Amino acid sequence: MPVRLLPDASQAYFEPQLPDFEPRTMWSLHNAFTTAAKVMPMSTRLPAIQSVGKMFGMSSEGKRERT
Amino acid sequence: MSAVAEAIQSALPKHGVIKDGHPFFNAAVGGDDRGTAGVPFVLRACQITIREERFALRRDGSVLFGVLELAYGESKDGTAALGLRTANDKSMSIQICAGLAVFVCDNLAFRGDLIALRSKHTSGLNIREELATAVLRFQEHFERLVGEIETLKEKQLTDVEAKALMHDVFAGGSHARPPPP
């Protein structure tokens, strides 16, 4: 994820606009990243979201690492 | 011509890189002239409807990215999304990944695992068989994704943990650590 999106991701998590993401959970944080990523072109957005997913344990690789 | 193929065809001329069509792009996402191959055909064969499709080409026109929102696995959170990328410059095989299109905010979540077709730019490649296998694996990955999202919802974060994760994501992985257990 480009660092320039850090303020947007931070705001989306700590000052959520949607009640669904008010709970301070990993799912809300994940959505903060994907919200911030909306401004990215699809060609970089998809790999970025995948990378975030991997860091949040949404991959078989991550599961192997944690066991 | 399928809507997918039309989207590709309409996107191509402005890039001007490829003059004689995109047989591999078409094989991957648009199917042949009769519409009997490609991801949309295989999804239909699995009785999965495409609700919405978006495509983009990399600037040099060599890599196609796509997101297909599907009428599959719908829950209160969202519906299944299939991410796809493929190249016509032999730099990668056809790759798909399982995702969720989140209803409430129109966000996309994708698993980190790519489902890569075994062959790339191989003569005699049976694209239909390859894609059928890939779609089955997509369904498996999507089921895993649903479970992983439930786990993320249950995991409460302190503000310090959230800030640490933000750092790790924006640090690009070099300082990354696994999420809290």
Tokens representing A53? Answer: 């997913």
**Across A6-17, average pLDDT:** 96
Considering only the beta carbons, identify the residue of B114, B155, B172 that sits closest to A26. B155
Give residue A64's pLDDT band: very low, low, confident or very high (50, 70, 90).
Answer: very low
What pLDDT sits at residue B6?
Answer: 56
Residue B165, domain member (yes or no):
no
Distance CA B41, CA B38 (A): 6
In the DSSP assignment, the letter for residue A38 is: G
What pLDDT sits at residue B7?
Answer: 54
What pLDDT sits at residue B65?
Answer: 87
**Across A9-25, average pLDDT:** 95
Tell me: the pLDDT tens digits for A37-63? 999 998 899 999 999 999 999 988 755
Q: Is this prediction's ipTM beyond 0.90? A: no
Q: SS3 for A1?
A: coil
- Whether chain B has a CB inside 8 Å of the CB on A36: the answer is no
Cross-chain residue pair A50–B83, CB shorter than 8 Å: yes
Residue B108, domain member (yes or no):
yes
**Across B164-170, average pLDDT:** 94
In the DSSP assignment, the letter for residue B29 is: I
Tell me: the pLDDT tens digits for B41-84? 788 888 899 999 888 888 777 788 889 999 999 999 999 999 98
Residue of B nearest to A46 (CA): B83
- Whether chain B has a CB inside 8 Å of the CB on A13: the answer is yes
Count A/B contacts: CB-CB distance under 8 Å.
138
For B76, the domain range is 3-142
Tell me: the pLDDT tens digits for B83-132? 988 887 777 778 899 999 999 888 999 999 999 876 555 666 677 777 88
**Above pLDDT 70, what percent of chain A?**
91
What pLDDT sits at residue B117?
Answer: 78
Distance CA B73, CA B146 (A): 9
In the DSSP assignment, the letter for residue B30 is: I
Instruction: Report chain A's mean pLDDT, rounded to a whole number.
Output: 89
What pLDDT sits at residue A7?
Answer: 96
Amino acid identity at B144: R
Q: Please count the structural domains in chain B.
A: 1
Contact B61, B18 (CB under 8 A): yes
Lowest-confidence pick of B16-20, B84-88, B170-174: B16-20
Residue B178, domain member (yes or no):
no
Give residue B157's pLDDT band: very low, low, confident or very high (50, 70, 90).
Answer: very high
Q: Please count the structural domains in chain A.
A: 1
Cross-chain residue pair B170–A6, CB shorter than 8 Å: yes
For A34, the domain range is 3-66
What pLDDT sits at residue B30?
Answer: 57
pTM here is 0.82
Residue B172 has pLDDT above 90, yes or no: no
How is chain A split among helix, strand and coil, in percent rounded to 5?
75, 0, 25
